[in-house]
Chains A and B, each alone.
Chain A
Amino acid sequence: MSLLEVEALTVRFPGVTAVDGLSFDLDKGRVLGLVGESGCGKSVTSLAVMGLLRDAETEGGIRFDGQDLLAGRPKAVRRLRGDRLAMIFQDPLSSLNPYYPVGFQIAEAYKAHRRAGRAAARAVVVRMLERVGIPEAERRARDYPHQFSGGMRQRVMIAMALCLEPELIIADEPTTALDVTVQAQILALLDELRTEYGTAVLLITHDLGVVAGMADEVLVMREGREVERGEVMELFDRPREPYTRRLLAAVPRVDRPVPDRLPVEDS
Chain B
Amino acid sequence: MIVYLVKRLAAAAAILLVVCALTFAIFYLAPDDPAQKACGKACTPERIEEIRGQLGLDRPVPEQFARYLEGIVAGRSYGGVQCPFPCLGFSFQTNVPVQELLVSRLPVSASIAVGAAALWLLTGVSAGVLAALTKGSWWDRAAMAAALGGISVPIYLTALVLQYVLVVVLGVLPYPRAVGLLEDPVVWLQSMLMPWVALAALYAGMYARLSRTEVIGALGQNFVRTARAKGLPEATVVRRHALRPALTPIVTVFGMDLGALLGGALITESVFGLPGVGKLAADAINSSDQPVIIGVTLFAAGFIVVANVVVDLLYAVLDPRIRLGAA
Contact = CB atoms under 8 A, between A and B. Distances in A.
Contacts of B232: 82, 108-109, 112
Contacts of B244: 99
A29 to B, nearest CB: 22
Interface in A54-68: none
Contacts of A87: 226, 229
Contacts of B233: 78, 112
A51 to B, nearest CB: 8
Say which size band chain B's interface belongs to: 20 to 34
Contact of A81 (B231, B318, B319, B321): B231
Nearest to B242: A97
Contact of B326 (A95, A97, A146): A146
B324 interface: yes
Say which size band chain A's interface belongs to: 20 to 34
A39 interface: no
A147 B222 contact: no
B228 interface: yes
Contacts, number: 77
Contact of B321 (A86, A101, A112, A144): A144
B221 interface: yes
A94 B226 CA distance: 9
A67 B90 CA distance: 81
Contacts of A100: 240
Nearest to B320: A144
A52 interface: yes
B97 to A, nearest CB: 47
Contact of A95 (B222, B231, B240): B222
B327 A96 contact: no
B225 A89 contact: yes
Nearest to B231: A82
A122 interface: no
A146 B222 contact: no
Nearest to B227: A97
A147 B244 CA distance: 20
Interface in A70-105: 78-83, 86-87, 89, 91, 94-101
Contacts of B320: 98-99, 101, 144, 146
B105 interface: no
Given A146-B324, A146-B327, A83 B245 contact: no
Interface string A104-137: 0000110011000000000000000000000000
16 contacts: A50-B229, A79-B231, A81-B231, A82-B231, A89-B225, A89-B226, A95-B222, A95-B225, A99-B245, A100-B240, A108-B240, A112-B232, A112-B233, A146-B324, A157-B226, A160-B230
Interface of A: 50, 52, 78-83, 86-87, 89, 91, 94-101, 108-109, 112-113, 144, 146-147, 157, 160
